[in-house]
Structure 1
Amino acid sequence: MAHEVPGTELNINTTSNDQSAEVGNAGGVASAGTVQAPVGTASVSRKRQGSPLEAENPWVIDIIREATSKQIHEELKASFLRGEPDMSAATVFFAEVNQKIQKANDEHGAERDRGTIPGDAYEKLYADFKTALEKAKLERNEEAALYVVQETHSKFAKFNQEHHLPEEWNINPDAFKHDSMPEVAPKPEPQDNDSLFSGSLPDYTGSETDIPDNVSTLEELEREARYNQSLSAGEVLYWWKRGVGTQTFVQYGQGSSKTYRIRAGSYEVYDPESVPRILSSGALSGDPSSVSCQGKQKLQYRNEKGRIEEAWAYTRDQVRGIVGVGWKVDDDDEEGIEPLDLLVPEPYATYPHTRILVLWVDGAVTLEDRAFIRRITKGSYLNVARIIYHKALRQEIRYRKAERLPYEHLLDRMPTRAKEKQDIELGDEEYEQDGEELNSVEEVQPEYRGSVQASTIRSASTRPPSNHGRSRTSEVRFVEPALEPRRPTSERGTARPSPNRVPHKSVDIEDPRDAKIRWLEEQLEMSLNRNHQSSYDSSSRWRRYNRYDGRQSEVSEYTPEPRRRRRAVHRERVWDNWTGSWVTARRVY
């Protein structure tokens, strides 16, 4: 398949016609290192016109054309026409041609690899073509398959033109069009067959605008769903943008028994056009001059020196009271948790997103944050947390009582003033009036003056869980059963409770000093019974030689002392500030 190029004679076989001509080199190889152009044929000169290799090494074109005029030309042409080309044969052919080109370049003093053909070019083009065609077949995309065939055909043609290869060495679009096109599923034609369940569906012969009585429109169903949810759920008072979603301020309950929550907008059904939206500037949608939060507004004025300063536009004097408190619950799911535990006042606690409805003297109601309540009240951040917590506690008790939900466990959290607890539990007229109840800030704020009274301290069982490491579960109170007397009440036997009688529990008041002594005795007994060898394991060589080890016994008469830590003593020079010199000191490590 490989043919050497004779020094005195070249055989050129053109693909455009079947004629062959032998061109003799009259002058042979010139002394300057160039090959003299063949004489006597006009076709060779026409083929070389426009070739990029014309100026420097025209022998490359002659080598390629002479090599492709042999049997390899017909073999590759036939394989391409069949649609199954042998790319490995083309790779071997390119390698042999490249050897001839490199040898000719060395003889003429040119670059060795100039004009060579990429050996694996055909294999890469054909592999990419098969991959793209299989993908189009799997997707059943006929247009994509045709585009792949045309694009690959263009790539082969461009490559052959650049390297002076025969035009017939290219894929056959007709072969791949008939054999490799994806099978597109035929579209089912509509049939006029009778339904299997004839008579099961009614036939409406009226016009499209006439809707029968048993057909409900989507708008009607949406209105009914929104109305039913408004009865069972809450009413959205405000909404605002939060990240990629929205948040809403929801009111639950009616009359004076209301409570509030901050929930995600996707969990509530409301009309964004009719419900006021709080913009980032603080104004309400639809009225740019309105404000939803007056507590952050400031006024500018000039002082005595003529400098511009700012002051709060609204102070405590303009506030009439707090309407309600709304806060965010994790994942908007209150199942199994007590929402009030998130607002328990504690030092260094982190509270959820909280908004407060504030009533002003002029009758306006705005939505404020914790910072405003702290500014208008006297006290620390913890005192503000107490104010918000007690207001939320009161509204939760009233709401749960009106909705007939469990609320008795919340009464223990109220301040132990008998009048307030009795008014909330028995339903005083002050809390049962039809009008909207508004508690002033002075009424909500607890009085913590001087030392803390003993009546305001709650026991550990009734105290809400700590914010640091909260269990996120509802507060559960366990009622302990009555204990029987430990000592017999008579000489005949012990007192046993009858089925209809609850035994009387005798309460003995223990002296605090006796309790402390008893606790110390228990601690001493525990320390004596503690095994000192539990801090470290015995050596493995004891177990390897099966020696007796008293530390492995549960009952041992001898308990060795715990291992002491080795301490190293070093002497080094240190600086003494008193004497102002270096002195030698002894240090123990």
Structure 2
Amino acid sequence: MGKSDKRKKKEKRRAERAKFLHDGNLHPGAGNPPDGSDNESESGTDGEETGEDVTMSDEKERGPWVDETIQNFVKNYSDDNVAIKLFGPTCSDQELANAKDFFDKINDIIEGENRSHGYTGSNVYVGIIDDVEYFSTRAAWLESLNQFHAKKKDAASVWDDFDKLSSNIDKFNKLNSLPAGWNLTATWAEEILGKRNPVNQDHANESDVDNLAYDLQSLKVRAKPAYTKENRCRVLYWWKTGGSSTDCFVEYERGGRHVHRIESGDYHDYDPEAVPRVSTEDRLLFRKNEGKWEYSEKDIDKIVAVGWKISGDCDPDDDPLQHIHPPDAGALAAEILYPRTEILILFKHGVTSLETRGGLRRVMRRKVVADRMIYKMAEERELKYTSARARSKENGSEKSVHFADDALSAYSIGRLRRSTSPTSSRTSKKEQRKGAAADHSLVDENRWLKEKLALLEERLQASDSGSDSGSDTDSHYSSRRSVRSRGSQRSRESRRPRRYYD
């Protein structure tokens, strides 16, 4: 069946539903309903010709499954206020078409449930939603706004229309088991009409509870994150953490600099259908083929980003790097417990994948090397992001995470390996050189003391020898001592550390 045939069938079904809802004379079997029953009664004549009120006598009651069906269906739209989009002047043709499809889908489900409970003929339409009434209310509201913009109506008159229409929609929602918040909201209307007159506000809405629900829905729509050039936040990946909870791999951008975090999905507004979801099967570094690892270090092109999760009970002013700092020299690496860490990796065959700390540890073959590489990249990114220089420049030299071929945006495995050191990354290079020089000095001093002790022992032995060979012994000892002293001096000079700093 082609698209045109499907469209014609859908339009025909909508017409049959409208006839059932508004004319009230569509008896079972009329209009060739979708269950395939015939148009004629058993006697070959319709109800009007026999004088029977077939519709009234044979019409069934609205089944209890209708409300349950609607409520289950709208759960998928719990974060999407249909009314806010449709009743706004900026509503697009696509949004309008989506709303019509919404009602078509839910009515199709209701018809299917009715058939499964033995309803036939026009009774399959019992309980369907009258979207014609809904869209006529929308048209009346937009016409009122057009007259306001054309200065044919003042704000007070449009507010009166607002009260009537919102009351109608509220009744419509209650009748059809739709969410109470799917309505016009005073907060949203104020952006167009301005603050309303407090004198006329007492009878504006049916209850304070409704007012609160409407304002919450409007606030939710208008509170979506505003992406600015100065400070943007984007959800790049998400995954399930148990039940309905999710975590996200989030990118923060300021002036062309980027840092990444793992945060709860409850604090971010994103489209789960558009943002990639990560599962265990997506981890390339843990993928095997016939018992062998498919990917190794040589398959990695660049490390694009690294993000980690910071516990909610941590002080926000604390250094975020402290949570992923590798162990200092002498510390037990086994005692280090890292937070969840994710690494965005670009592979040489062009695929970008979000991998775990454990995956990078596997391909690097040494955990400590992978941990230092992660910290090194995170440290450089944090310094760039938080530095005053980065804040002052609107256009930084670092490109977005999506441009992973840029040298400033991604890190090669070799570069990260060379830039890491077994010494603590908290220790400066100058301090490391000072420590090394001090160690060499202690070694030289120890050797010099040993040589001095040996000379003293030789001198004591010489003093105990016979007087007959005393002069020869003294001259021989003096010669040995002179040679040994010069050799020791040269040895100490050769071992003396070079000065790498001023």
User: For this structure pair, what is the TM-score category when the shorter chain's length is used for normalisation?
Assistant: 0.3 to 0.5
TM-score by length of 1: 0.33
Higher radius of gyration, 1 or 2? 1
Structure with greater contact order relative to length (CA < 8 Å, sep ≥ 6): 2
TM-score by length of 2: 0.38
Point out the structure with the larger helix share. 2
